[in-house]
Amino acid sequence: MYKLLVLIFGFLLISCPAEVFAQKKVPILVYHSIAEFTGHGQKELYVTPENFEKQIGYLRDHGFTLLTFEQWQNIDLVKKPIFLTFDDGYKNNLTALKVFQKLQTNQFKPAGTFFIITDFIGRTNRLSSNDLKTLSKSGLISIQSHTATHPDLTKTEKLDSELRDSKRALEKITDKEVIAISYPFGNFNPRVVTETKNYYLFGLTTTPGPYIKQGIENEHYLLPRTYIKYSTSLDDFAKIVNMD
C-alpha cells in the first residue's frame, strides 16, 4: 500500500502544474495621492496621473484581475489577482476613477478600494459625501474605513468608537456594508485586532509584501501591503506586482 501511495503522489507531481502546489502570492498595493507633486506634503506619497495610468495599463496588458474586498473569495478563481488600495480619502483620488474608466474594456474591469477618514470628509482637499456616493455607484470603487479621526489605534482611548463610528458613517453615505479597515500608520496590536473583529472582516497593515495564505489565526486582520511611491518606476512596479 505504501509503495502504491508513493507512486500515486509521484504521478501527481509529474502531471499537475507546479502552481497547484505553490502558494499564490497576492499583491495588495497602497496609494495615497494621485496627483502632480507641488511641494506640499511628502513627495513619495504622490503618484503622478501619468505614472498611475501606465501602471493600470500594465495590469490590463499583463492579465491581472483587480479585486475589492467584497470579492475576496475570487482570489482562488482568477489567475493573477491584485488589490489596489488608496488611503486617507484625498480629493485627487477622483483621478483614479477617471483612469479606471478610461482603461476599462469588456475584458478588463479596474477596481480599487478607498479607505476614508470619516471626520475628514468634505474638507478642502478631501472627498465629499457626494464624491463617495458617486464613487460607490460607479461599480469600480469600494468605500471602506480608515477610522474616524486617524489616530494610532494602539494608543487611542477611543478605539471602539473609532472603529464603529467610521463604519456607520460610511454605510449611511453609500448604503453598502463596510467590511474592511486600514489601520492608520499601519499600527496594530492584539487588542486592536480583537476589537476590529467586532466590526470588520479585514484589517490592513503596511507590513510590506504580498498576501500568502498560511491559515494562521486572524490572518485576514494582518493583511500586508506594498507602497507605490512617486519614485516607483514602471520597471519597479512590474517587479512588485509580479513578486520578483
Judge whether 151 lies within some domain.
yes
Amino acid at 2: Y
Q: Distance between CA 101 and CA 96 in Å, rounded?
A: 9
Judge whether 236 lies within some domain.
yes
Each residue's pLDDT tens digit, 14-65: 444 444 445 799 999 999 999 999 998 999 999 999 999 999 999 999 999 9
Judge whether 18 lies within some domain.
no
Judge whether 17 lies within some domain.
no
Query: Given 3-state DSSP classes, what are the helix, strand and coil percentages for the chain, each rounded to the nearest 5?
Result: 45, 20, 40
- Segments of the chain with pLDDT less than 70: 1-22, 244
Judge whether 165 lies within some domain.
yes
Cα distances (Å, whole numbers) of residue 153 to 69, 121, 187, 202? 22, 20, 7, 15
Each residue's pLDDT tens digit, 168-182: 999 999 999 999 999
What does residue 15 show for φ and ψ, rounded to 5 degrees? -85, -25
Q: Which of 65, 80, 232 is nearest to 240 (CA)?
A: 232
| Domain at 155, CATH number | 3.20.20.370
Judge whether 6 lies within some domain.
no
pLDDT on residue 19: 42
- How crowded is residue 113: how many other Cβ atoms within 10 Å of its Cβ? 24
Number of domains in the chain: 1
Judge whether 42 lies within some domain.
yes
Q: Distance between CA 163 and CA 130 in Å, rounded?
A: 22
C-alpha count within 13 angstroms, C-beta hemisphere, residue 107: 7
Q: Distance between CA 40 and CA 23 in Å, rounded?
A: 41
Judge whether 8 lies within some domain.
no
Give the structural domain span for 99: 25-242
